[in-house]
């Protein structure tokens, strides 16, 4: 027993117990991912670069294909809502491009997130590394592809009718909150999908519905006043209000909207991390 | 005195065996209405009250029939599974070689896979870079190293897998019968490499049912039967 105690107090000792206390959770997350072993940072880097290399391998246009789908969809909506069902939205191109850009981040992260654990089941069952590395490299892969679209958006911004303004500083608050929100949802979905393989298909079916329920193509001001309050039930709405305010209108989002975004981002991320770190070991036994 | 590097105390592992495994929501809903479709979970004790400790440089062979719990114990030691009861403590870098070439991506080249695989075991890219030449030389892959792994023969694949594992320089090596494959010359080379690592103080746990192989590498053995320790001791 004495031997065991001295062994326990040793600093390099890693101990895995049957139960993990909740208060250790946050420390475990930060410790296990980055401080314990600098190699894990390189693992994230290697996994992300693998995904990027593999996805468009052998295609002549390579990375550019990631822009093909969002670009064509945006153009389709542009044609439909400019000439077929004309909208009165001021600078509709910019409004649409802003909405589509940010929608694509959400839909990609959530769709890919479903399969984070199932696709990597072989790795997870054979080698130990901090489990959070899989979702972290997953979302970084998504953000890398998204960044290509974002750069195109920035280059076209003035041409689409945008005016740079001081309100753009607000983007530095809203965007991280939005990513945290997407990440939190994807973390939970990755756990659920490993247990119920229907989830991915459900998400596939419901995402287009959510797309039309979110102010991406239409502006909230065009809604009849009596159904406008229903919009607050959509957790994506405050983010899209903010993005349109900052990038389309050049004005700061209201304080309430900003606070709501931050709260949604932090809450979803916190909940997602909690569920993921608590459940991932049980899930791995079953995939 | 050599410090203890592995301490396993009263480890037990219970799996829930899902009969009629109701994967998918449809079956879950049907299960609410009909007893026949309901998932019933049977408890299955894969391991019961297993305890042992190993010092630095020790070597232990885990013996037993198929399904006796050897691989479950190995997965618990690797940290992949959590024990249901008891605790496991390990010191230093663990390399679980449960399967060679896990994590290799077929479309990546041998070189890219060395980096990916090394970092899965916790090596930084700088550490891998410093060992890269030794890994390639050991694997005898030569100019095939920058060709996608999907074009490799199964022998080449295993050689690359073992070479990465051999240069992780772990404090504890957990091996699951990985030495039974490959051509004779390379197997001999792997044996030598493992002995060399053992002389440098590496602790080895080897899962096997070949007793001859166990004697060759291990000084101690632990025989499992239905998840319980049936016999333990030292090889003469």
What is the domain-level CATH number for residue B113? Answer: 3.40.50.300
For A84, which DSSP code? Answer: I
Asked if A127 and B80 come within 8 Å (Cβ–Cβ), the reply is yes
B103 with A123: CB under 8 angstroms? Answer: yes
CB contacts, 8 Å: B132 with chain A: none
Residue A254 is classified by DSSP as P
Task: Give the gap in angstroms from C-alpha A74 to the nearest C-alpha of chain B.
Answer: 33
Instruction: Nearest chain A residue to B119 by CA: give it.
Output: A43
Distance from the Cα of residue B145 to its chain's centroid: 25
With an 8 Å Cβ cutoff, is A38 touching chain B? yes
Between chains, do A128 and B96 touch, taking CB under 8 Å as contact?
yes
Indicate whether B102 belongs to any domain. Answer: yes
Task: Name the one residue in this structure whose structure tokens are 């990375």.
Answer: A63
Within 13 Å of residue A43, how many CA atoms lie on the same side as its CB?
26
Q: Which residues of A touch B25 (CB under 8 A)?
A: 196, 198, 202
Residues of chain B with Cβ-Cβ distance to A54 below 8 Å are 105, 107-108
A183/A17: higher pLDDT: A183
CA distances (Å), B222 to each of B22, B50, B60, B68, B234, in order? 37, 10, 7, 12, 9
Q: Would you list the DSSP string of A173-232?
A: HHHHHHHHHHHHHHHHHHHHHHH-TTHHHHHHHHHHHHHHHSTTSS-GGGS-TTTGGGGG
Q: Domain containing B152: what range?
A: 56-234
Share of chain A above pLDDT 70, in %: 87
Give the total number of structural domains in chain B.
1
Is A27's Cβ below 8 Å from some Cβ in B? no
Which of the four pLDDT bands, split at 50, 70 and 90, describes residue A22?
Answer: very low
Three-state DSSP state, B80: coil
- Pairing status of strand B203-207 against strand B172-176: parallel
Q: Chain-wide mean pLDDT for chain B?
A: 86
Q: Is A21 on the interface with B (CB under 8 A)?
A: no
Tell me if B20 is assigned to some domain: no
In a domain, B214, yes or no: yes
Largest pairwise CA distance in chain A: 82
Long-range contacts of A60-66 (CB under 8 A, 24+ apart): A63/A145, A63/A148, A66/A145, A66/A148, A66/A149
CB contact under 8 Å between A127 and B28, yes or no, is no
Q: Determine, yes or no, domain membership for B121.
A: yes
CA atoms B67, B69, B74, B75: torsion sign:
positive
Residues of chain B with C-beta less than 8 angstroms from the C-beta of A40: 119, 122
Q: What is the pLDDT of residues B30-74, one digit of tens each?
A: 766 666 666 667 788 889 999 999 999 899 999 988 888 888 999
- Is B30 part of a structural domain of the chain? no
Top residue of B10, B71, B79 to mutate, by most chain A CBs within 10 Å, is B79
Angle at B222 between CA B218 and CA B228, to 5 degrees: 160
As given in the structure block, the two tokens for residue A60 are: 């002549």
pLDDT for A57 equals: 81
CA angle A140, A145, A151 (to 5 degrees): 115
Provide CB contacts within 8 A for B71, sequence distance 6+.
Answer: B98, B176, B207
Residue B117 lies in a domain: yes
Among B19, B21, B120, B129, the residue to mutate for chain A (most A Cβ within 10 A): B120
* Residues with Cβ within 8 Å of residue A2, at least 6 apart in sequence: none
Asked if A36 contacts B122 with a C-beta cutoff of 8 angstroms, the reply is: no
pTM, rounded to two decimals:
0.86
Crossing angle for the helix pair B110-120 and A39-55, to the nearest 10 degrees: 140
Contact at 8 Å (CB) between A261 and A174? Answer: yes
Average pLDDT over residues A246-257: 94
Looking at residue B214, what is its pLDDT?
A: 87
Where residue A6 falls among pLDDT bands split at 50, 70, 90? very low
Which of A3, A14, A38, A39 is the best mutation test for B, with the most CBs of B within 10 A?
A39
A127 touches chain B (CB under 8 A): yes
pLDDT at residue A27, as a whole number: 52
Does B37 fall in a domain?
no
pLDDT digits (tens, 9 = 90+) for B87-115: 999 888 888 887 787 889 999 999 999 99
Q: Closest-CA residue in chain A for B71? A: A126
pLDDT of residue A9: 38
Q: Let me know if residue B13 belongs to a domain.
A: no
Q: For residue B83, give how far its alpha carbon lies from the nearest alpha carbon of chain A (Å).
A: 5
């Amino acid at each position: 027993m004495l031997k065991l105690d001295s062994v326990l107090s040793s600093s390099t000792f890693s101990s895995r117990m049957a139960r993990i206390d909740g208060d250790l959770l946050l420390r475990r997350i930060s410790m296990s991912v980055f401080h314990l072993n600098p190699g894990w940072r390189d693992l994230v880097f290697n996994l992300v670069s693998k995904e990027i290399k593999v996805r468009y391998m052998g295609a002549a246009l390579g990375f550019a294909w990631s822009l093909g789908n969002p670009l064509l969809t945006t153009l389709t909506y542009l044609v439909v809502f400019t000439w077929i069902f004309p909208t009165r939205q001021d600078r509709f191109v910019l409004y649409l491009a802003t909405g589509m850009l940010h929608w694509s981040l959400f839909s990609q992260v959530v769709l890919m997130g479903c399969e984070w654990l199932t696709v990597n089941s072989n790795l997870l069952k054979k080698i130990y590394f901090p489990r959070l590395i899989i979702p972290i490299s997953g979302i970084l892969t998504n953000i890398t592809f998204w960044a290509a679209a974002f750069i195109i958006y920035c280059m076209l911004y003035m041409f689409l009718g945008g005016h740079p303004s001081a309100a753009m500083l607000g983007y530095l608050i809203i965007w991280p909150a939005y990513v945290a929100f997407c990440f939190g949802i994807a973390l939970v979905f990755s756990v659920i999908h490993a247990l119920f393989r229907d989830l991915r298909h459900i998400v596939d079916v419901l995402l287009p519905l959510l797309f039309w329920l979110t102010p991406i193509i239409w502006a909230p001001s065009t809604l009849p006043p009596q159904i406008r309050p229903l919009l607050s039930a959509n957790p994506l709405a405050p983010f899209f209000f903010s993005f349109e305010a900052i990038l389309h209108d050049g004005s700061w989002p209201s304080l309430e909207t900003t606070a709501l975004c931050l709260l949604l981002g932090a809450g979803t991320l916190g909940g997602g991390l909690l569920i993921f770190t608590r459940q991932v070991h049980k899930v791995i036994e079953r995939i | 005195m050599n410090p203890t590097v592995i301490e396993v105390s009263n480890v037990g592992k219970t799996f829930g065996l899902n009969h009629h495994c109701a994967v998918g929501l449809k079956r879950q809903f049907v299960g609410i209405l009909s007893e026949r479709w309901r998932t019933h979970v049977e408890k299955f004790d894969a391991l019961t009250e297993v305890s042992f400790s190993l010092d630095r440089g020790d070597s232990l062979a885990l013996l037993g029939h198929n399904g006796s719990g050897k691989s479950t114990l190995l997965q618990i030691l690797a940290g992949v599974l959590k024990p249901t009861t008891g605790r496991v403590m390990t010191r230093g870098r663990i390399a679980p070689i449960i399967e060679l070439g896990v994590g290799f991506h077929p479309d990546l080249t041998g070189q890219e896979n060395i980096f990916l695989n090394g970092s899965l075991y916790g090596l930084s890219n700088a550490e891998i870079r410093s060992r890269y030449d030794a890994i390639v030389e050991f694997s005898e892959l030569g100019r095939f190293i920058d060709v996608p792994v999907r074009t490799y023969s199964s022998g080449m694949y295993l050689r690359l897998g073992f070479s990465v594992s051999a240069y992780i320089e772990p404090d504890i090596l957990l091996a699951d019968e990985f030495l039974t494959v490959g051509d004779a010359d390379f197997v001999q080379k792997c044996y030598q490499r493992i002995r060399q690592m053992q002389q440098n103080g590496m602790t080895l746990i080897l899962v096997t049912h070949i007793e001859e192989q166990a004697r060759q590498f291990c000084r101690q053995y632990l025989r499992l039967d239905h998840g319980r320790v049936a016999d333990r001791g030292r090889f003469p």
